[in-house]
Amino acid sequence: MWQNILEFLQSTGFAGFADSTMMIGGFIPGELIMLLVALLLLYLGIAKKFEPLLLVPIGFGMLLVNLPLGGIMTPPVGKDTAGLVWYLYQGVKLGIYPPLIFMGVGSMTDFGPLIANPKSLLLGAAAQLGIFVTFIGANFMGFEMKAAASIGIIGGADGPTAIYLTSKLYPDLLPAIAIAAYSYMALVPIIQPPIMKLLTTKKERMIVMDQLRDVSKTEKIIFPIVVTILCGLLLPSAVPLLGSLMLGNLFRETGVTARLSDTAQNALINILTIFLGVAVGATASADKFLQLETLKIIGLGLAAFSVGTAGGILLGKLMNVLSGGKINPLIGSAGVSAVPMAARVSQVVGQKENPGNFLLMHAMGPNVAGVIGSAIAAGVMITFLG
């Protein structure tokens, strides 16, 4: 019996630390460090309100997978069933969750401000510069090309797109990229303003833009269909993401599919967000996450956001000049996506110079355009590297 008790003790997680595949400094099990990282993520999500809907499940998934011997991500072996989260992870691996989540995002998104101001689309394109500059940077820093593309997409500032691309190209980087993407999205109000102020003059920031025109219901219905056909023909590999986004938006706008829109943006997106978050977090085993690469990714992610912000602002300046001073360049930074945070930042920075200036609706155009833009960029990456 004492033998049995000993064996039982060896099956505890405390004993599991001793068998860790990764001993840092020779005696600290990697899992222990990972538990601290998980706690940090939970802290950021809960106390700092960093995208809590994602970071809380991701942090908890990371915690679960790093409890030694818990087996929550064990694949099935023979007739043994797999760990719980392994099953949930299949929806990430097979590319199912991100497009369906995008459907919910679509049914929450109002493209009205974009339809009212088509020039917004250019700003949404320019802000994707961060993706490509970071892609090149990551190549130079030694990442192989698939990894570099996955890292670059952080600059798209769009969670489902980043997770979809990474799960297709380089799943090992999933947790680092997801965490970087969501953290920087939460940090947009801190990252963007200095860049915005640096690149614009006070006079530019004070520009008051014309009221947007009304957008009819018909336009809002036709828009998602047009986007799907146009972009789908141009870039077939963007169809799963863009098509789902636009289907959700169509449910929202028809006026006769309110039931579907409601479920897409509530029950369905919430269920999948839980599954996706926990599963992505649970890919963060110590040996994959505690690498120098992770730090590099966090650094490159910041660069991606900054370059994207600058790209949007600079094109905004150019468009302002060309339009004869009618475009406030501050709305350009909203093109990175991070809906609607980046648009709010444009509003806040603009209002600081000119309290009567209301840029929010004008910034929503580039903001939602950025979602389309980064999905297209992801499609290009999949076409070449997928």
Partner 1 sequence: MDMWTITIIGVSTVFLALISLSFVLMLFRFIFAPRRTVKPSAKSMAQATPAVTTSPDGTIIAVITAAIAASTGHSAASFRIASVEAVGGFNTPAWGYIDRLARAVHGRQANI
Can you give the binding site for Na ion, defined by CB under 5 A? 156-158, 337, 370, 374
Cis check: omega of the bond before 355, within 30 degrees of 0: no
254 near a copy of itself (CB under 8 A): yes
Q: Nearest to residue 278, comparing CAs of 69, 35, 33, 55?
A: 55
Report residue 8 CA to chain centroid gap. 43
Residue closer to partner 1 (CB basis): 76 or 386: 386
Minimum distance, C-beta of residue 168 to Na ion, in the bound complex (Å): 17
Residue 6 interaction partner, one of partner 1, Na ion, a copy of itself, none, beta carbon < 5-8 Å per kind? none
Q: Which residue stretch of 84-92, 162-170, 191-199, 214-222 sits at the interface with partner 1 (rule: CB under 8 A)?
A: 214-222
230 part of the interface to partner 1, by CB under 8 A? yes
Beta bridge partners of 80: 77
Give the x-and-dash track for 166-205 against a copy of itself (CB under 8 A): ----------------------------------------
| Ranges within 125-154 binding partner 1 (CB under 8 A) | 125, 128-129, 131-132, 135-136, 139, 145, 148-149
Q: CA torsion angle for 374, 300, 61, 37 (degrees, to 10)?
A: -160
Binding-site residue total for partner 1 (CB under 8 A)?
Answer: 73
| Cβ atoms of 45 and 55 closer than 8 Å | yes
Identify residues 73-112 at the interface with partner 1 (CB under 8 A). 105, 108, 110, 112
Q: Is 206 exposed, middle or buried (0-12, 13-18, 19+ CB in 10 A)?
A: middle
Q: With respect to partner 1, which residue has the nearer C-beta, 282 or 361?
A: 361
The whole-angstrom separation of Cα 191 and Cα 48 is 16
Window 151-170: residues binding partner 1 (CB under 8 A): none
| CA 246 – CA 239 distance, rounded (Å) | 10
From 33, 40, 82, 215, residue interacting with a copy of itself (rule: CB under 8 A): 82
Q: Assess 376 for contact with partner 1 (CB under 8 A).
A: yes
In the numeric block, the tokens 């801190």 are attached to 190
Whether the CB-CB separation of 364 and 114 falls below 8 Å is answered with yes
> Are 165 and 151 a contacting pair, CB within 8 Å?
no
Locus of tokens 């302002």: 320
- Of the candidate residues 22, 23, 82, 222, the single one contacting partner 1 (CB under 8 A): 222
Number of residues that bind a copy of itself (CB under 8 A): 72
